[in-house]
Structure 1
Protein backbone atom coordinates (compact mmCIF):
# COMPACT_ATOMS: atom_id res chain seq x y z
CA UNK A 1 0.00 0.00 0.00
CA UNK A 2 1.21 3.55 -0.69
CA UNK A 3 2.49 5.70 2.15
CA UNK A 4 0.74 8.70 0.63
CA UNK A 5 -2.59 9.83 -0.81
CA UNK A 6 -2.48 9.35 -4.58
CA UNK A 7 -4.90 10.83 -7.09
CA UNK A 8 -5.25 9.71 -10.71
CA UNK A 9 -6.30 12.00 -13.55
CA UNK A 10 -7.31 11.37 -17.17
CA UNK A 11 -8.34 14.11 -19.64
CA UNK A 12 -10.87 12.64 -22.08
CA UNK A 13 -12.62 13.30 -25.38
CA UNK A 14 -14.90 10.68 -26.97
CA UNK A 15 -12.95 7.88 -25.31
CA UNK A 16 -15.70 5.26 -25.01
CA UNK A 17 -13.99 2.83 -27.40
CA UNK A 18 -10.64 2.86 -25.59
CA UNK A 19 -11.53 3.47 -21.93
CA UNK A 20 -13.09 0.16 -20.79
CA UNK A 21 -9.85 -1.85 -20.74
CA UNK A 22 -7.96 0.96 -19.06
CA UNK A 23 -10.66 1.48 -16.43
CA UNK A 24 -10.72 -2.25 -15.67
CA UNK A 25 -6.98 -2.24 -14.86
CA UNK A 26 -7.32 0.95 -12.81
CA UNK A 27 -10.08 -0.65 -10.74
CA UNK A 28 -7.71 -3.53 -9.97
CA UNK A 29 -5.35 -0.92 -8.48
CA UNK A 30 -8.01 0.99 -6.53
CA UNK A 31 -6.42 0.14 -3.19
CA UNK A 32 -3.44 2.26 -4.28
CA UNK A 33 -5.57 5.28 -5.19
CA UNK A 34 -7.20 7.86 -2.93
CA UNK A 35 -9.16 9.69 -5.66
CA UNK A 36 -9.82 9.32 -9.39
CA UNK A 37 -10.72 12.18 -11.71
CA UNK A 38 -11.77 12.66 -15.33
CA UNK A 39 -12.01 16.09 -16.94
CA UNK A 40 -13.93 15.62 -20.17
CA UNK A 41 -13.91 17.90 -23.22
CA UNK A 42 -17.63 17.74 -24.04
CA UNK A 43 -17.68 14.15 -25.31
CA UNK A 44 -20.68 13.06 -27.37
CA UNK A 45 -20.35 9.36 -26.48
CA UNK A 46 -20.55 7.39 -23.22
CA UNK A 47 -17.14 8.52 -21.88
CA UNK A 48 -18.51 10.26 -18.80
CA UNK A 49 -20.93 7.51 -17.80
CA UNK A 50 -18.19 4.87 -18.17
CA UNK A 51 -15.86 6.89 -15.95
CA UNK A 52 -18.51 7.49 -13.27
CA UNK A 53 -19.41 3.79 -13.25
CA UNK A 54 -15.72 3.07 -12.54
CA UNK A 55 -15.75 5.42 -9.53
CA UNK A 56 -14.30 8.54 -11.13
CA UNK A 57 -15.23 12.09 -10.26
CA UNK A 58 -16.16 13.85 -13.50
CA UNK A 59 -15.79 17.49 -14.51
CA UNK A 60 -16.22 19.16 -17.90
CA UNK A 61 -14.04 21.64 -19.76
CA UNK A 62 -15.15 23.20 -23.04
CA UNK A 63 -13.13 22.35 -26.13
CA UNK A 64 -12.57 26.08 -26.71
CA UNK A 65 -11.12 26.48 -23.21
CA UNK A 66 -9.01 23.30 -23.23
CA UNK A 67 -5.23 23.37 -23.25
CA UNK A 68 -2.94 20.58 -22.05
CA UNK A 69 -1.56 22.90 -19.40
CA UNK A 70 -4.87 24.28 -18.19
CA UNK A 71 -6.62 20.92 -17.81
CA UNK A 72 -3.71 19.53 -15.78
CA UNK A 73 -3.47 22.68 -13.67
CA UNK A 74 -7.17 22.36 -12.89
CA UNK A 75 -6.81 18.64 -12.09
CA UNK A 76 -4.02 19.41 -9.63
CA UNK A 77 -6.23 21.98 -7.90
CA UNK A 78 -9.20 19.60 -7.69
CA UNK A 79 -6.95 16.88 -6.25
CA UNK A 80 -5.28 19.32 -3.87
CA UNK A 81 -5.68 16.93 -0.92
CA UNK A 82 -3.49 14.33 -2.66
CA UNK A 83 0.26 14.02 -2.07
CA UNK A 84 0.84 12.71 -5.58
CA UNK A 85 -1.13 12.85 -8.82
CA UNK A 86 -0.85 10.32 -11.63
CA UNK A 87 -1.34 11.82 -15.09
CA UNK A 88 -2.56 9.54 -17.87
CA UNK A 89 -3.95 9.85 -21.37
CA UNK A 90 -7.04 7.99 -22.48
CA UNK A 91 -5.26 5.83 -25.08
CA UNK A 92 -2.71 4.25 -22.73
CA UNK A 93 -3.04 0.52 -22.00
CA UNK A 94 -1.86 -0.24 -18.46
CA UNK A 95 -0.13 -3.43 -17.40
CA UNK A 96 -1.47 -4.88 -14.12
CA UNK A 97 1.25 -3.51 -11.80
CA UNK A 98 2.05 -0.25 -13.60
CA UNK A 99 0.25 2.05 -11.14
CA UNK A 100 1.68 0.33 -8.06
CA UNK A 101 5.22 0.31 -9.43
CA UNK A 102 5.14 3.98 -10.42
CA UNK A 103 3.88 5.01 -6.97
CA UNK A 104 6.45 2.87 -5.15
CA UNK A 105 9.21 4.30 -7.35
CA UNK A 106 8.57 8.00 -6.69
CA UNK A 107 8.01 7.42 -2.96
CA UNK A 108 11.69 6.42 -2.74
CA UNK A 109 12.87 9.87 -3.87
CA UNK A 110 11.90 12.83 -1.64
CA UNK A 111 13.44 15.35 -4.09
CA UNK A 112 11.67 14.04 -7.21
CA UNK A 113 9.18 16.28 -9.03
CA UNK A 114 7.93 13.74 -11.55
CA UNK A 115 8.48 10.13 -12.60
CA UNK A 116 7.27 8.60 -15.84
CA UNK A 117 6.71 5.00 -16.84
CA UNK A 118 7.98 2.86 -19.67
CA UNK A 119 6.04 2.93 -22.94
CA UNK A 120 5.92 0.01 -25.35
CA UNK A 121 4.16 -0.37 -28.69
CA UNK A 122 1.26 -2.67 -29.47
CA UNK A 123 2.71 -4.24 -32.63
CA UNK A 124 -0.78 -5.19 -33.81
CA UNK A 125 -1.44 -1.45 -34.23
CA UNK A 126 1.99 0.17 -34.49
CA UNK A 127 5.04 -0.01 -36.74
CA UNK A 128 8.66 -1.10 -36.47
CA UNK A 129 9.63 2.59 -36.46
CA UNK A 130 7.47 3.39 -33.46
CA UNK A 131 8.79 0.26 -31.75
CA UNK A 132 12.37 1.49 -32.20
CA UNK A 133 11.49 5.02 -31.06
CA UNK A 134 10.10 3.59 -27.81
CA UNK A 135 13.33 1.62 -27.26
CA UNK A 136 15.34 4.82 -27.81
CA UNK A 137 13.29 6.93 -25.37
CA UNK A 138 12.37 4.26 -22.81
CA UNK A 139 15.32 2.01 -21.87
CA UNK A 140 15.14 -1.17 -19.81
CA UNK A 141 16.70 0.38 -16.71
CA UNK A 142 15.50 3.01 -14.24
CA UNK A 143 16.83 6.57 -14.37
CA UNK A 144 17.04 9.45 -11.91
CA UNK A 145 17.96 12.63 -13.79
CA UNK A 146 19.29 15.85 -12.27
CA UNK A 147 20.90 19.07 -13.44
CA UNK A 148 24.28 17.31 -13.21
CA UNK A 149 23.24 15.03 -16.11
CA UNK A 150 22.79 17.86 -18.63
CA UNK A 151 26.36 17.65 -20.05
CA UNK A 152 25.85 13.95 -20.85
CA UNK A 153 22.11 13.70 -21.65
CA UNK A 154 21.43 17.15 -23.08
CA UNK A 155 17.74 17.77 -23.82
CA UNK A 156 16.93 14.19 -22.83
CA UNK A 157 17.59 15.23 -19.22
CA UNK A 158 14.22 16.97 -19.36
CA UNK A 159 12.44 14.22 -21.25
CA UNK A 160 9.23 13.07 -19.57
CA UNK A 161 5.80 11.92 -20.70
CA UNK A 162 2.40 12.67 -19.24
CA UNK A 163 0.96 9.72 -21.13
CA UNK A 164 1.79 7.96 -17.84
CA UNK A 165 3.51 9.92 -15.10
CA UNK A 166 3.25 10.81 -11.43
CA UNK A 167 3.90 14.23 -9.89
CA UNK A 168 4.68 15.30 -6.35
CA UNK A 169 1.93 17.81 -5.61
CA UNK A 170 3.96 19.99 -3.19
CA UNK A 171 6.83 20.28 -5.69
CA UNK A 172 4.41 20.90 -8.55
CA UNK A 173 3.03 23.88 -6.65
CA UNK A 174 6.52 25.04 -5.69
CA UNK A 175 7.42 25.52 -9.35
CA UNK A 176 4.13 27.23 -10.16
CA UNK A 177 2.02 24.32 -11.46
CA UNK A 178 1.21 23.81 -15.16
CA UNK A 179 0.92 27.06 -17.15
CA UNK A 180 -2.62 27.50 -18.48
CA UNK A 181 -1.45 28.71 -21.89
CA UNK A 182 0.79 25.77 -22.82
CA UNK A 183 -0.86 23.38 -25.27
CA UNK A 184 1.94 21.03 -26.30
CA UNK A 185 4.81 19.26 -24.52
CA UNK A 186 3.63 20.39 -21.10
CA UNK A 187 5.49 17.36 -19.69
CA UNK A 188 8.79 18.55 -21.20
CA UNK A 189 8.14 22.06 -19.89
CA UNK A 190 7.49 20.90 -16.34
CA UNK A 191 10.42 18.47 -16.28
CA UNK A 192 12.81 21.14 -17.59
CA UNK A 193 11.53 23.65 -15.03
CA UNK A 194 11.91 21.12 -12.23
CA UNK A 195 15.45 20.13 -13.22
CA UNK A 196 16.59 23.76 -13.26
CA UNK A 197 14.96 24.30 -9.85
CA UNK A 198 17.06 21.49 -8.42
CA UNK A 199 14.51 18.67 -8.46
CA UNK A 200 14.88 15.17 -9.90
CA UNK A 201 13.04 13.64 -12.86
CA UNK A 202 12.64 9.87 -12.65
CA UNK A 203 11.99 7.07 -15.08
CA UNK A 204 10.54 3.77 -13.84
CA UNK A 205 11.12 0.95 -16.32
CA UNK A 206 8.96 -1.40 -14.23
CA UNK A 207 5.85 0.78 -14.65
CA UNK A 208 5.00 -0.34 -18.17
CA UNK A 209 2.19 0.71 -20.50
CA UNK A 210 1.41 0.27 -24.18
CA UNK A 211 1.01 3.50 -26.10
CA UNK A 212 0.67 3.41 -29.87
CA UNK A 213 0.15 6.15 -32.48
CA UNK A 214 1.37 4.83 -35.87
CA UNK A 215 1.87 8.29 -37.39
CA UNK A 216 1.86 8.72 -41.17
CA UNK A 217 4.46 10.95 -42.82
CA UNK A 218 1.94 13.79 -42.73
CA UNK A 219 1.21 13.04 -39.08
CA UNK A 220 4.92 13.18 -38.22
CA UNK A 221 5.27 16.46 -40.13
CA UNK A 222 2.35 18.05 -38.30
CA UNK A 223 3.52 16.77 -34.92
CA UNK A 224 6.97 18.22 -35.43
CA UNK A 225 5.52 21.57 -36.41
CA UNK A 226 4.09 21.62 -32.88
CA UNK A 227 7.46 20.59 -31.41
CA UNK A 228 9.26 23.33 -33.35
CA UNK A 229 6.69 25.90 -32.25
CA UNK A 230 7.07 24.76 -28.63
CA UNK A 231 10.82 25.31 -28.70
CA UNK A 232 10.42 28.65 -30.47
CA UNK A 233 8.08 29.78 -27.68
CA UNK A 234 10.36 28.36 -24.96
CA UNK A 235 13.94 29.06 -26.12
CA UNK A 236 15.21 28.78 -22.53
CA UNK A 237 14.92 24.99 -22.72
CA UNK A 238 17.47 24.52 -25.49
CA UNK A 239 19.60 27.32 -24.06
CA UNK A 240 19.75 25.40 -20.77
CA UNK A 241 19.83 21.80 -22.03
CA UNK A 242 21.31 21.90 -25.53
CA UNK A 243 19.97 21.76 -29.07
CA UNK A 244 17.08 19.46 -29.88
CA UNK A 245 18.75 18.61 -33.21
CA UNK A 246 21.55 16.77 -31.38
CA UNK A 247 19.12 14.22 -29.93
CA UNK A 248 17.49 13.97 -33.37
CA UNK A 249 20.77 13.08 -35.08
CA UNK A 250 21.46 10.39 -32.48
CA UNK A 251 17.98 9.00 -33.11
CA UNK A 252 18.59 8.83 -36.89
CA UNK A 253 21.76 6.76 -36.63
CA UNK A 254 20.31 4.62 -33.87
CA UNK A 255 17.32 3.77 -36.08
CA UNK A 256 19.49 3.01 -39.12
CA UNK A 257 21.64 0.65 -37.04
CA UNK A 258 18.57 -1.04 -35.60
CA UNK A 259 17.00 -1.61 -39.05
CA UNK A 260 20.23 -3.10 -40.43
CA UNK A 261 20.73 -5.33 -37.39
CA UNK A 262 17.15 -6.66 -37.55
CA UNK A 263 17.25 -7.28 -41.30
CA UNK A 264 14.97 -4.37 -42.21
CA UNK A 265 17.64 -2.55 -44.22
CA UNK A 266 15.16 -2.10 -47.09
CA UNK A 267 13.14 0.25 -44.85
CA UNK A 268 16.00 2.76 -44.57
CA UNK A 269 14.64 4.93 -47.46
CA UNK A 270 11.28 5.21 -45.70
CA UNK A 271 13.07 5.84 -42.42
CA UNK A 272 14.93 8.68 -44.13
CA UNK A 273 11.64 10.08 -45.43
CA UNK A 274 10.21 10.01 -41.90
CA UNK A 275 13.17 11.91 -40.49
CA UNK A 276 12.90 14.36 -43.38
CA UNK A 277 9.23 14.99 -42.57
CA UNK A 278 10.12 15.54 -38.91
CA UNK A 279 12.95 17.92 -39.76
CA UNK A 280 10.86 19.99 -42.17
CA UNK A 281 7.98 20.15 -39.71
CA UNK A 282 10.30 21.16 -36.89
CA UNK A 283 11.88 23.92 -38.94
CA UNK A 284 8.49 25.21 -40.07
CA UNK A 285 7.33 25.36 -36.47
CA UNK A 286 10.34 27.48 -35.54
CA UNK A 287 9.37 30.28 -37.93
Structure 2
Protein backbone atom coordinates (compact mmCIF):
# COMPACT_ATOMS: atom_id res chain seq x y z
CA UNK A 1 0.00 0.00 0.00
CA UNK A 2 1.29 3.45 -0.93
CA UNK A 3 2.71 5.49 1.93
CA UNK A 4 0.53 8.49 2.83
CA UNK A 5 1.98 11.97 3.24
CA UNK A 6 2.62 12.43 6.96
CA UNK A 7 3.31 15.57 8.96
CA UNK A 8 4.23 15.71 12.64
CA UNK A 9 3.16 18.91 14.42
CA UNK A 10 4.79 19.76 17.76
CA UNK A 11 4.03 22.88 19.82
CA UNK A 12 7.17 23.82 21.75
CA UNK A 13 8.19 26.10 24.59
CA UNK A 14 11.85 26.48 25.54
CA UNK A 15 12.84 23.32 23.65
CA UNK A 16 16.01 21.65 24.87
CA UNK A 17 18.20 18.64 24.09
CA UNK A 18 15.24 16.31 24.69
CA UNK A 19 13.46 17.88 21.71
CA UNK A 20 16.59 17.41 19.58
CA UNK A 21 16.51 13.72 20.51
CA UNK A 22 12.76 13.56 19.72
CA UNK A 23 13.42 14.88 16.21
CA UNK A 24 16.30 12.43 15.73
CA UNK A 25 14.07 9.49 16.65
CA UNK A 26 11.26 10.70 14.40
CA UNK A 27 13.64 10.81 11.44
CA UNK A 28 14.75 7.22 12.15
CA UNK A 29 11.23 5.79 12.13
CA UNK A 30 10.46 2.86 9.82
CA UNK A 31 7.86 5.21 8.33
CA UNK A 32 9.45 8.66 8.71
CA UNK A 33 7.35 11.82 8.48
CA UNK A 34 7.53 13.91 5.32
CA UNK A 35 7.73 17.06 7.41
CA UNK A 36 8.06 18.12 11.04
CA UNK A 37 6.36 21.40 11.90
CA UNK A 38 7.38 22.98 15.20
CA UNK A 39 5.23 25.84 16.48
CA UNK A 40 7.38 27.57 19.06
CA UNK A 41 6.09 29.94 21.69
CA UNK A 42 8.81 32.60 21.76
CA UNK A 43 10.92 32.17 24.86
CA UNK A 44 14.30 33.47 23.75
CA UNK A 45 15.85 30.05 23.24
CA UNK A 46 15.69 27.44 20.49
CA UNK A 47 18.29 24.75 19.61
CA UNK A 48 20.41 25.98 16.72
CA UNK A 49 20.55 22.55 15.06
CA UNK A 50 16.74 22.47 14.84
CA UNK A 51 16.52 26.04 13.60
CA UNK A 52 18.87 25.20 10.72
CA UNK A 53 17.36 21.79 9.94
CA UNK A 54 15.82 21.86 6.39
CA UNK A 55 13.45 19.05 7.38
CA UNK A 56 11.78 21.22 9.99
CA UNK A 57 9.27 23.97 9.39
CA UNK A 58 9.50 26.47 12.23
CA UNK A 59 6.71 28.86 13.11
CA UNK A 60 7.10 31.29 15.99
CA UNK A 61 4.20 32.75 17.95
CA UNK A 62 3.97 35.17 20.86
CA UNK A 63 2.99 33.69 24.25
CA UNK A 64 -0.41 35.38 24.22
CA UNK A 65 -1.25 33.63 20.94
CA UNK A 66 -0.74 30.13 22.30
CA UNK A 67 -3.87 28.05 22.74
CA UNK A 68 -4.14 24.30 23.22
CA UNK A 69 -6.63 24.01 20.38
CA UNK A 70 -5.92 27.09 18.29
CA UNK A 71 -2.17 26.54 17.99
CA UNK A 72 -2.64 22.96 16.82
CA UNK A 73 -5.43 24.05 14.47
CA UNK A 74 -3.04 26.58 12.95
CA UNK A 75 -0.56 23.79 12.26
CA UNK A 76 -3.24 21.58 10.75
CA UNK A 77 -4.59 24.38 8.53
CA UNK A 78 -1.10 24.98 7.12
CA UNK A 79 -0.64 21.30 6.23
CA UNK A 80 -1.53 19.43 3.05
CA UNK A 81 -0.55 16.06 4.52
CA UNK A 82 -2.95 13.12 4.51
CA UNK A 83 -2.11 12.17 8.08
CA UNK A 84 -1.42 14.64 10.89
CA UNK A 85 0.45 13.43 13.97
CA UNK A 86 0.40 15.73 16.98
CA UNK A 87 2.99 15.31 19.71
CA UNK A 88 4.13 17.22 22.76
CA UNK A 89 7.79 18.10 23.17
CA UNK A 90 8.16 15.84 26.22
CA UNK A 91 6.96 12.68 24.46
CA UNK A 92 9.68 10.34 23.18
CA UNK A 93 9.17 7.53 20.65
CA UNK A 94 9.94 4.27 22.47
CA UNK A 95 11.01 2.49 19.27
CA UNK A 96 11.24 3.05 15.48
CA UNK A 97 7.73 1.66 14.83
CA UNK A 98 5.68 4.46 16.39
CA UNK A 99 4.49 6.16 13.20
CA UNK A 100 4.11 2.89 11.29
CA UNK A 101 1.77 1.52 13.96
CA UNK A 102 -0.25 4.74 14.20
CA UNK A 103 -0.76 4.70 10.43
CA UNK A 104 -1.75 1.02 10.59
CA UNK A 105 -4.38 1.86 13.22
CA UNK A 106 -5.78 4.66 11.04
CA UNK A 107 -6.25 2.24 8.15
CA UNK A 108 -8.94 0.35 10.07
CA UNK A 109 -12.51 0.88 8.90
CA UNK A 110 -13.97 4.31 9.75
CA UNK A 111 -11.13 5.20 12.14
CA UNK A 112 -10.54 8.95 12.18
CA UNK A 113 -7.99 9.19 15.00
CA UNK A 114 -5.49 6.91 16.70
CA UNK A 115 -3.54 7.62 19.88
CA UNK A 116 -0.39 6.03 21.25
CA UNK A 117 0.34 4.15 24.43
CA UNK A 118 2.21 6.21 27.02
CA UNK A 119 4.91 4.38 28.95
CA UNK A 120 6.35 5.72 32.23
CA UNK A 121 9.78 7.31 32.25
CA UNK A 122 12.52 5.84 34.46
CA UNK A 123 11.97 8.45 37.17
CA UNK A 124 8.19 7.91 37.26
CA UNK A 125 6.83 7.40 40.78
CA UNK A 126 4.79 4.37 41.81
CA UNK A 127 1.30 5.93 41.72
CA UNK A 128 1.81 7.66 38.39
CA UNK A 129 3.34 4.48 36.97
CA UNK A 130 0.14 2.61 37.80
CA UNK A 131 -1.97 5.44 36.37
CA UNK A 132 -0.12 5.01 33.05
CA UNK A 133 -1.03 1.32 32.96
CA UNK A 134 -4.65 2.09 33.87
CA UNK A 135 -5.11 4.67 31.11
CA UNK A 136 -2.84 2.98 28.56
CA UNK A 137 -3.20 -0.83 28.77
CA UNK A 138 -1.27 -3.42 26.75
CA UNK A 139 -4.15 -4.31 24.42
CA UNK A 140 -5.26 -2.20 21.46
CA UNK A 141 -8.93 -1.44 20.85
CA UNK A 142 -11.23 0.71 18.75
CA UNK A 143 -14.03 2.85 20.19
CA UNK A 144 -17.32 3.89 18.63
CA UNK A 145 -20.69 5.36 19.64
CA UNK A 146 -21.83 1.88 20.69
CA UNK A 147 -19.23 1.84 23.48
CA UNK A 148 -20.65 4.83 25.39
CA UNK A 149 -22.94 2.81 27.70
CA UNK A 150 -20.04 0.56 28.71
CA UNK A 151 -17.01 2.89 28.62
CA UNK A 152 -18.59 6.22 29.53
CA UNK A 153 -16.18 9.18 29.39
CA UNK A 154 -13.33 6.90 28.27
CA UNK A 155 -15.09 6.48 24.93
CA UNK A 156 -13.96 10.00 24.09
CA UNK A 157 -10.49 9.65 25.54
CA UNK A 158 -7.63 10.61 23.23
CA UNK A 159 -4.30 12.28 23.92
CA UNK A 160 -2.37 14.73 21.79
CA UNK A 161 0.77 13.73 23.67
CA UNK A 162 0.90 11.49 20.61
CA UNK A 163 -2.11 11.10 18.33
CA UNK A 164 -2.66 10.75 14.58
CA UNK A 165 -5.63 12.03 12.58
CA UNK A 166 -6.86 11.48 9.07
CA UNK A 167 -6.78 14.95 7.55
CA UNK A 168 -9.92 14.47 5.46
CA UNK A 169 -12.01 13.53 8.52
CA UNK A 170 -10.31 16.22 10.60
CA UNK A 171 -11.26 18.87 8.03
CA UNK A 172 -14.82 17.61 7.59
CA UNK A 173 -15.47 18.02 11.33
CA UNK A 174 -13.94 21.47 11.62
CA UNK A 175 -10.77 20.37 13.39
CA UNK A 176 -9.69 21.47 16.85
CA UNK A 177 -11.52 24.18 18.73
CA UNK A 178 -9.84 27.52 18.05
CA UNK A 179 -9.99 28.47 21.69
CA UNK A 180 -9.83 25.91 24.46
CA UNK A 181 -8.02 25.82 27.78
CA UNK A 182 -7.46 22.07 27.68
CA UNK A 183 -8.87 18.82 26.30
CA UNK A 184 -8.80 19.80 22.62
CA UNK A 185 -8.03 16.16 21.82
CA UNK A 186 -11.04 14.71 23.67
CA UNK A 187 -13.37 17.36 22.23
CA UNK A 188 -12.35 16.40 18.70
CA UNK A 189 -12.47 12.67 19.53
CA UNK A 190 -16.05 13.15 20.73
CA UNK A 191 -16.94 14.86 17.45
CA UNK A 192 -15.37 11.98 15.53
CA UNK A 193 -17.38 9.38 17.43
CA UNK A 194 -20.61 11.38 17.40
CA UNK A 195 -20.27 11.66 13.62
CA UNK A 196 -20.21 7.89 13.17
CA UNK A 197 -16.45 7.45 12.91
CA UNK A 198 -14.20 5.59 15.36
CA UNK A 199 -11.15 6.28 17.54
CA UNK A 200 -8.37 3.69 17.86
CA UNK A 201 -6.03 3.11 20.78
CA UNK A 202 -2.81 1.74 19.28
CA UNK A 203 -1.03 -0.05 22.13
CA UNK A 204 1.83 -1.03 19.81
CA UNK A 205 2.55 2.65 19.09
CA UNK A 206 4.55 3.60 22.17
CA UNK A 207 5.92 6.85 23.54
CA UNK A 208 7.70 7.48 26.81
CA UNK A 209 5.82 10.16 28.70
CA UNK A 210 4.94 10.69 32.35
CA UNK A 211 4.86 13.40 35.02
CA UNK A 212 5.46 13.45 38.76
CA UNK A 213 2.89 16.13 39.54
CA UNK A 214 2.58 17.62 43.02
CA UNK A 215 -0.82 17.92 44.70
CA UNK A 216 -0.90 21.60 43.72
CA UNK A 217 -0.15 20.79 40.08
CA UNK A 218 -2.85 18.10 40.06
CA UNK A 219 -5.29 20.70 41.40
CA UNK A 220 -4.44 23.23 38.67
CA UNK A 221 -4.54 20.62 35.91
CA UNK A 222 -7.92 19.26 36.93
CA UNK A 223 -9.33 22.76 37.31
CA UNK A 224 -8.51 23.47 33.66
CA UNK A 225 -9.76 20.06 32.59
CA UNK A 226 -13.11 20.74 34.25
CA UNK A 227 -13.32 24.22 32.70
CA UNK A 228 -12.93 22.64 29.26
CA UNK A 229 -15.76 20.23 30.05
CA UNK A 230 -17.99 23.01 31.39
CA UNK A 231 -17.41 24.99 28.19
CA UNK A 232 -18.62 22.02 26.12
CA UNK A 233 -21.81 20.72 27.74
CA UNK A 234 -22.91 19.31 24.38
CA UNK A 235 -20.21 16.67 24.84
CA UNK A 236 -19.66 16.23 28.57
CA UNK A 237 -22.92 17.14 30.29
CA UNK A 238 -24.46 13.68 30.06
CA UNK A 239 -21.31 11.75 31.02
CA UNK A 240 -19.86 11.68 34.54
CA UNK A 241 -16.08 11.90 34.72
CA UNK A 242 -16.14 11.26 38.46
CA UNK A 243 -17.01 7.58 37.99
CA UNK A 244 -13.79 6.92 36.11
CA UNK A 245 -11.81 8.83 38.72
CA UNK A 246 -13.27 6.81 41.58
CA UNK A 247 -12.48 3.58 39.74
CA UNK A 248 -8.86 4.68 39.30
CA UNK A 249 -8.48 5.56 42.99
CA UNK A 250 -9.88 2.21 44.12
CA UNK A 251 -7.71 0.20 41.74
CA UNK A 252 -4.61 2.21 42.63
CA UNK A 253 -5.21 1.64 46.36
CA UNK A 254 -5.55 -2.10 45.75
CA UNK A 255 -2.35 -2.07 43.69
CA UNK A 256 -0.45 -0.32 46.50
CA UNK A 257 -1.62 -2.99 48.93
CA UNK A 258 -0.70 -5.76 46.49
CA UNK A 259 2.87 -4.47 46.14
CA UNK A 260 3.10 -3.96 49.90
CA UNK A 261 3.43 -0.18 49.88
CA UNK A 262 0.32 0.78 51.87
CA UNK A 263 1.93 3.99 53.17
CA UNK A 264 1.61 5.44 49.66
CA UNK A 265 -2.18 5.39 50.09
CA UNK A 266 -1.75 8.62 52.10
CA UNK A 267 -0.14 10.23 49.03
CA UNK A 268 -2.89 8.79 46.83
CA UNK A 269 -5.59 10.31 49.05
CA UNK A 270 -3.89 13.73 49.01
CA UNK A 271 -3.45 13.67 45.23
CA UNK A 272 -7.02 12.51 44.71
CA UNK A 273 -8.32 15.27 46.98
CA UNK A 274 -6.37 17.84 44.98
CA UNK A 275 -7.71 16.48 41.70
CA UNK A 276 -11.29 16.40 42.97
CA UNK A 277 -11.24 19.89 44.48
CA UNK A 278 -9.75 21.33 41.28
CA UNK A 279 -12.31 19.50 39.19
CA UNK A 280 -15.30 20.64 41.27
CA UNK A 281 -14.17 24.26 41.22
CA UNK A 282 -13.46 24.13 37.48
CA UNK A 283 -16.95 22.81 36.77
CA UNK A 284 -18.31 25.91 38.56
CA UNK A 285 -15.79 28.41 37.25
CA UNK A 286 -18.54 30.75 35.95
CA UNK A 287 -19.58 31.42 39.53
CA UNK A 288 -16.05 32.29 40.65
CA UNK A 289 -14.53 35.79 40.68
CA UNK A 290 -11.70 36.38 38.25
CA UNK A 291 -9.00 36.54 40.91
CA UNK A 292 -9.99 33.10 42.21
CA UNK A 293 -9.92 31.64 38.70
CA UNK A 294 -6.41 32.99 38.17
CA UNK A 295 -5.29 31.36 41.42
CA UNK A 296 -6.76 28.01 40.33
CA UNK A 297 -5.72 27.78 36.67
CA UNK A 298 -2.42 26.61 35.21
CA UNK A 299 -3.17 28.70 32.08
CA UNK A 300 -3.43 32.35 33.19
CA UNK A 301 -3.02 33.74 29.66
CA UNK A 302 -6.22 31.95 28.63
CA UNK A 303 -8.21 34.30 30.83
CA UNK A 304 -6.61 37.55 29.65
CA UNK A 305 -9.42 38.26 27.17
CA UNK A 306 -11.93 37.79 30.00
Shorter-chain TM band: over 0.9
Q: Post-superposition shift, 1:236?
A: 2.1
1:219 aligns with 2:220: no
SS of aligned partner of 2:64: coil
Matched with 1:283 is: 280
Moved more, 53-62 or 268-277: 53-62
In structure 2, runs of 5+ residues without a counterpart are 285-306
Matched with 1:138 is: 136
SS of aligned partner of 1:64: helix
Q: Post-superposition shift, 1:6?
A: 1.0
**Off by >6 Å, runs of 4+ in structure 1:** none
Q: 1:2 to 1:9 in 2, by over 3 A?
A: farther
Matched with 1:235 is: 233
Q: How big is the alpha-carbon RMSD for the aligned residues of Structure 1 and Structure 2? A: 1.6
Aligned residues of 1:13 and 1:47 also touching (Cα < 8 A): no
Q: Which residues of 2 match residues 243-262 of structure 1 at below 5 A?
A: 243-262=240-259
Alpha-carbon distance between aligned partners in 2 of 1:216 and 1:197, rounded to the nearest angstrom = 38
The one of 197, 200, 209 aligned to 1:199: 197
Q: Post-superposition shift, 1:23?
A: 1.2
- What is the TM-score of this pair, normalised by structure 2? 0.88
Q: Post-superposition shift, 1:164?
A: 0.3
The one of 263, 267, 281 aligned to 1:266: 263
Alpha-carbon distance between aligned partners in 2 of 1:266 and 1:55, rounded to the nearest angstrom = 50
Q: Which residues of 2 match residues 1-287 of structure 1 at below 5 A?
A: 3-29=3-29, 31-47=31-47, 49-53=49-53, 55-79=55-79, 81-96=80-95, 97-107=97-107, 109-124=108-123, 126-240=124-238, 242-287=239-284
- What is the TM-score of this pair, normalised by structure 1? 0.94
SS of aligned partner of 1:265: coil
Q: 1:85 to 1:114 in 2, by over 3 A?
A: same
Aligned residues of 2:181 and 2:224 also touching (Cα < 8 A): no
SS of aligned partner of 1:45: coil
Alpha-carbon distance between aligned partners in 2 of 1:186 and 1:35, rounded to the nearest angstrom = 23
